[in-house]
Structure 1
């Protein structure tokens, strides 16, 4: 028997085909409509139904390119299962390069949302209703916040055996056991029975080829792990993955101009010098030391820092 079509919004996608759908969000003051762009690749053969999304924060453009490259290599006639791709969730923030929505709300603290709530709440509700509720797994693509840089990493509940297996299959250099935050997509997905892998890599408002490559290969590896794709030759050899259970930021103990001496992915030891702070005349006013041993998974890229600012993120 032929596989049933996939319903989303007011359309149905036939098995063995792909279709783009525009889900209504709101209307601009000028009268133009704002919609959530979704592409459904509904495989001819049965299999898992998963989603992949990016730009929940409007300045996180790197994941949009990851999704573009993943979709370009998929054929609905050979795909087993269904992939629902949402390259831009925070459409209004994306158009202006803003992390947040026009009402300054963080969309990733607004899930599961409400049909009658704020704009952020309504977008979250739409995404949950039309995408998450129909899937068993999601891959949520993020970058670091403004003026920060992240080493490619998967953040997930590594105590769950299935999630652990999929995080390992993704093949990012590091996977971190991360607590779930209230209002996040990870939390809302878990509440309705959908596992979520969160990929963090790179910087806001910037394309960086290495994090993009890791992201594209990671999504494809998960599809292979779920038997939705046959494994291509370039993905046969699994990469080495460092598993980390905790992480924390080394913070500035003074104010000054920052000079870091470590790079993303570096292994550091507790007490190791990571850099220093200088005044405007170049006089060293404070050294920065690691407060734990581990791998550097995040850095500030801000040259001027104040006491208490996060400088180096170390995962153990």
Structure 2
């Protein structure tokens, strides 16, 4: 029998699961705020993995992915340990805001400090109590409010293990992305913890395709790490399209945007992605693709200012594979929702 997993003041025995609340702060009205983590501690030893969401409080799709993951049947006979944190930034989540009350971005405050700002203290608690106690992690994000992302994995360059796990996750697109100062990815890397970053969907919105892709990808990674058996784990519909560069197409003028391409579409250099016109329809300016690739992100806001980022296009390494994959993405996006049993009306 394995030793219990200790988190805060709680002890989670092998073969059991429990939600543990770690004290973070007290609000001005004396309401306590906690960092809540659900621990599944398998009977057999194995990889210790964390799955986190809500580092940005308005990125709610990650919380839905964690909820579905914790209900997944393969987790009933698990080896190793899973620590799932559906909402890291409770302050932002409650206020439907990306930031904390002091307007700091939590993902620019790592590794944090126990004696620093509110953001620094939360970053330090999450890093020391959750992240550094694990071997590998998956951090779930979405686009900001008014934007939407095609499900994609972002990898730290030069890490072969992450590249392998990214391929197993099999999101529609896999991209290399440098770490940024103060980010969770950089802090985890410096602590020796391999971290996959999953981007999908839109801020303050649920997205069925993003949710299904996220849950399936996490389960495939867990199976690869021998944490769960392969039975019941969704198979990848095809290989991920690997991209090393991407570009934003920006508004040539201010006005009203009519989009002609959606996320997942394959576009060629010189192709028109959208049109910006003035409210009278007297002047129009085309938004033209500067590169050939896949639309991995897009603005959903019709009112734009000159210079606003409108379309995010990633450049695939293999164009032929990317064109074929784009057709598969279209089928996935048009597929009907797959509801939980208790959600069927």
How does the TM-score come out when normalised to structure 1?
0.97
Q: Offset of 1:221 from its aligned partner?
A: 0.6
Larger displacement relative to structure 2 (280-289 or 101-110):
280-289
Check conservation: 1:57, 1:93, Cα contact below 8 A. yes
Q: 2-side partners of 1:55 and 1:32: how far apart?
A: 20
Q: Is the 8 A contact 2:167 2:239 kept in 1?
A: no
Give CA-to-partner distance per residue, 1:53-72, whole Å, 9 cap, x none: 00111111101010011011
Aligned to 1:111: 110
Distance in 2 (alpha carbons) for counterparts of 1:149 and 1:162 = 28
Structure 2 gap segments, 5+ residues each: 316-345
The CA RMSD measured in Å over matched residues stands at: 1.2
Contact 2:170 2:236 in 1 (8 A): no
Contact 2:152 2:172 (8 Å CA) reproduced:
yes
Task: Determine the C-alpha separation between the residues in 1 that align with 2:51 and 2:159.
Answer: 20
- 2:201 aligned with 1:202, yes or no? yes
The structure-2 alpha-carbon separation of the partners of 1:74 and 1:111, relative to structure 1 and needing over 3 Å to count, comes to: farther
Aligned-pair distance for 1:266? 0.7
How far the C-alpha of 1:234 sits from its partner, in A, is 5.2
Name the CA distance, whole Å, in 2 between partners of 1:89 and 1:128.
Answer: 11
Between the aligned partners of 1:162 and 1:24, the Cα distance in structure 2 is 34
Give 1:142's aligned residue: 141
Displacement of 1:107 after TM fit?
0.4
Q: Count residues with an aligned counterpart.
A: 315
Instruction: Call closer, same or farther: CA 1:75–1:41 in 2, change over 3 Å.
Output: farther
CA contact (8 A) 2:74 2:233 kept: no
- The corresponding residue for 2:68 is 69
CA contact (8 A) 2:55 2:87 kept: yes
> Match for residue 39 of structure 1?
38
Match of 1:243 in 2: 242
* Whole-Å separation in 1 of the counterparts to 2:245 and 2:76: 42
Work out whether residues 45 and 78 of structure 1, in 8 Å CA contact, stay in contact via their aligned partners in 2. no
CA displacement 1:157-188 (0-9 Å, x = unmatched): 25311100100111110001111111111000
Mark the CA change 1:228 to 1:286 in structure 2 (over 3 Å): closer, same or farther.
same
Residue 184 of structure 2 is matched in structure 1 by: 185
Question: How far off is 1:38 after superposition?
Answer: 0.6
> Which deviates the most, 299-308 or 275-284?
275-284
| Unaligned 5+ runs, structure 1 | none
- CA drift of 1:74 comes to 5.1
Aligned to 1:20, the other structure's residue is in SS state: strand
My pick for the range that moved more, 189-198 or 281-290, is: 281-290
- Mapped to 2, the partners of 1:214 and 1:73 lie a distance apart of 14
